[in-house]
Each structure stands twice: as structure tokens, then as C-alpha cells.
Amino acid sequence: MKLYNLKDHNEQVSFGQAVRQGLGKQQGLFFPAELPSFDAQEINELLAMDLVSRSARILSAYIGDEIAAQAIAERVAKAFQFPAPVVSVEEDIGTLELFHGPTLAFKDFGGRIMAQMLAEVAGDKPVTILTATSGDTGAAVAHAFYGLKNVRVVILYPNGKISPLQEKLFCTLGGNIHTVAIDGDFDACQALVKQAFDDEDLKVALGLNSANSINISRLLAQICYYFEAASQLTPEQRNQLVISVPSGNFGDLTAGLLAKSLGLPVKRFIAATNANDTVPRYLASGRWEPHKTVATLSNAMDVSQPNNWPRIEELFRRKDWPLSSLAYEAISDETTRETMRELAKKGYTSEPHGAIAYRALRDSLKEGEYGLFLGTAHPAKFKEVVEEVLATELPLPKALADRAELPLLSHYLPADFSPLRAFLMDLPK
């Protein structure tokens, strides 16, 4: 598999290099040089497979012979040990529940595949994973890499801007997992990660890598659950399928669009955001004008400069798809609350991110279409918000209950690269 840097097409790397390196020169994202596709018969054969077999086939289509098919299958089997069920919410709408993994969020899929692929390609060379999180990525990455030989993980997150239970899930592990609360928002954390990757001496000294959705292995892993969703639908539903994706850094939507590029029949995608609506405004006006990030109920989507957007534009360019075919909607906190209550009346408990995706879908679904929205996190991960909005008490699932009373092991730093660099250089070897 060859990939090229979106900011410098002359920089081309193998899949293994892209996994180890994360970003290219000038902080450029890697993108596949070849876009594989399956014909209708192959799609039907894929949809008849189980999750692990199908996912291994999809990943092999991208990776090619760089990693043996059997090795890919074994890595996928270790990573995907939990289901992704489609649950009916209304007659014409279902939700793909992606929160049945160890950290109760969709990021478990990408994080665990990345850990397996890095183990496959890194050999004995020490690696330091440096990543930023707006909530769920941190937990997924921490648990996926916890205890792995020759891997240190450093996770930056905005202090006081993720839910307490999200924080407990990944800031209580210790060992090879180091967590840093930054005095700033997610974009500030992301900017610090980029500065670190621009520091060549630091990169070499630490063997820096990133586990954000910018890493191609995470992105390819996320393609797999779109196929898993379609496998659970009737042929009629598949043929009129509309998918609404709660969007922050836009990795999830990028993966869905890559699934469509592979041949998965999706009529259209909806980019559903909160008040951090850079992409909806861009699609409406053609002007890229990020505003200052604002805090919302759906904090994992509080991103005003989504990293993965260049990949989406590149895919649309390569496939000759018009950007106007991508639907979009930005949902306010007030409407998010109303929607959570509306879903509860229908018998479905949702947290804010899923509610936003449902609202954007319900607002635009046409007669005869079947809608699917992504449930990206277990409601209990946003226990305080859900309980306040729905006036109910949520029981804690075991994964959260086991960590709820443990002490936080985080360090605290300003949004300044110098102290972060010193911290990274002082990490135990």
C-alpha cells in the first residue's frame, strides 16, 4: 500500500511507514494512492461474512501484500472482540451502537486496530504515542496500548472540558500511560501535538507517533463498522440508506465516505455538528472561516478546525463527487436537549452526540429512505448531562464503575510547548 502526503504529493510512504510516522512533512495527512473498490457481487459476499472476516478482507484491500492476509486476520481478531449492533429506534430509523467495546465508545475500533498494526510493523523499536483527545480517543488509545512492550503513551486533554467519567476511564491507568491536562481547549491540545511533530529532534529522540484519527490505521479500521451496519439491514433498507454522522474531527465521516468509495451502497451522508460548525458554514458559503471553539453538551465534537477535512476534500476530488452531495446540519444545545427527551419518549436513551446525529437525520429523511445514525458513546459516559436532561438516574456499566473511585494520575500543564517538551524529554525510558 502506498500513501502520499496531502501537503506534498512527492512524499510517498508504505502503510507501515504511515502507521509508524502518523503525519507527513508540514503536518500533512497521508492518503491512499490507490482507492480499491468491490463490485456488487463482492459487496454482497462481504455483507454475508462475520465482522472479523469481513474487516480483514477490507483492510487487506487497502494494505495489499505489505502484510500477509493471515496476519491481518489475526490482528483484527484480537482487536474486534465486541459487537456493533444496529438497534431500531423508529420504523425508518436505526442506530449503529459503537459503544460495546472496553471503553464504551466508537474509538475502541480504531484504537485497538492501530495498537495491533503498530505491534505488527514496529518490531522492537521503542515508540512514544502522543495524542490529543476531546474525550473518547484518550480512553480508547490508553486501553488499547496499556501494557504493550516498547510503547509509551502521552495523552493531552483540555482540563475541565471532558466529562469526569471520561477522565476517570483513561487517567487512572498509570504504567506506560501518561495523561496531561492542558489549560486550554481541544484545539490547543491538538496544536501542541502538531508542534511536537514539527520538532525533528524530539521526534527522533522519542520515536514519536500519533494515535489521533489522523493515523491511517485508525481511519481504515472505522470503515469496517459501516459494512457491519449494512450487513444487519434488509436489501430494501440498504438500497435507500442515509447515514448521519456526529462530526468533530471528521475522522468518522471520512471512514464512511471511504466505505462508499469501496462500493458500499449509501445514498447520502449527513455531517452533523454542534455549534462548532466550520464545515456546515463552509459547505453553505464556500468559505473556510473557523470560529473560536465553544464548549457544548457534545464536548467530543467541540472542534473548530477538524483535522480530517482535507482527506474528505481529496476523496471527493479523486472520485469526482460534488461537495454539494454531502448533507449537513449544525444542532444547538437547546435542540440537543429536546432531541434527547424526544428519543427517551420513543424508548431510546441517547447521549448528546448521538442525539445530534439523530436530529439531523430526522430533519432530512425522505419518504422511502432508511436512516441510520451513529451512537458513538454509551450514555453513561455523559452521566451528568444525561441525568440532568432526562431527569433520571443512569446505572454505571462495569467498565466505568470499576474506575469511578480511582485517583486521577494526570499532570497539569499550560497550553505552551516549552513545558510540554521538557515533560516529554523527562519521561521514564
Residue 17 falls inside a structural domain: no
Length of the chain: 429
Residue 125 falls inside a structural domain: yes
The C-alpha atoms of residue 389 and residue 411 are separated, in whole angstroms, by 32
Residue 73 falls inside a structural domain: no
CATH number at residue 381: 3.40.50.1100
User: Does one domain contain both 198 and 147?
Assistant: yes
Residue 8 falls inside a structural domain: no
CB atoms within 10 A of CB 423: 14
Burial of 36 (0-12, 13-18, 19+ CB in 10 A): middle
Residue 284 falls inside a structural domain: yes
Rounded to the nearest 5°, which phi and psi values hold at 145?
Answer: -100, -5
User: Does one domain contain both 220 and 207?
Assistant: no
Distances (CA, A) of 405 to 167, 172, 173, 401: 12, 9, 12, 8
So what's the pLDDT on residue 213? 65
Instruction: Return all residues near 122 (Cβ < 8 A) that are at least 6 apart.
Output: 20, 150, 151
The number of domains in the chain is 2
User: Does one domain contain both 196 and 255?
Assistant: no
So what's the pLDDT on residue 210? 76
The C-alpha atoms of residue 194 and residue 213 are separated, in whole angstroms, by 13
User: Does one domain contain both 233 and 207?
Assistant: no
What residues are paired with 211 via a beta bridge? none
So what's the pLDDT on residue 300? 87
Residue 57 falls inside a structural domain: no
User: Does one domain contain both 328 and 192?
Assistant: no
Q: Tell me the residue range of the domain where 140 lies.
A: 107-214+405-426
Residue 69 falls inside a structural domain: no
Q: Return the amino acid letter for 116.
A: Q
User: Does one domain contain both 221 and 179?
Assistant: no
User: Does one domain contain both 357 and 415?
Assistant: no
| Strands ordered across the beta sheet of 2-5 | 8-14, 2-5, 30-32
Distances (CA, A) of 45 to 40, 156, 203: 9, 42, 43
User: Does one domain contain both 340 and 267?
Assistant: yes
User: Does one domain contain both 409 and 386?
Assistant: no
Distances (CA, A) of 94 to 44, 91, 241, 258, 271: 21, 8, 11, 21, 17
User: Does one domain contain both 318 and 226?
Assistant: yes
Residue 1 falls inside a structural domain: no
Give me the tens of pLDDT residue by residue for the chain, a chain 429 residues long: 999 999 999 999 999 999 988 888 888 999 999 999 999 999 999 999 999 999 999 999 999 999 999 999 999 999 999 999 999 999 999 999 999 999 999 989 999 999 999 888 877 788 899 999 877 788 888 999 999 888 999 999 999 998 888 899 999 999 999 999 999 998 899 899 989 988 999 999 998 887 766 889 999 999 999 999 999 999 999 999 999 999 999 999 999 999 999 999 999 999 999 999 999 999 999 999 999 999 999 988 999 999 899 999 999 999 999 999 999 999 999 999 999 999 999 999 999 999 999 999 999 999 999 999 999 999 998 999 999 999 999 999 988 899 989 999 999 999 999 999 999 999 987
pTM over 0.85: yes
User: Does one domain contain both 239 and 272?
Assistant: yes
User: Does one domain contain both 340 and 276?
Assistant: yes
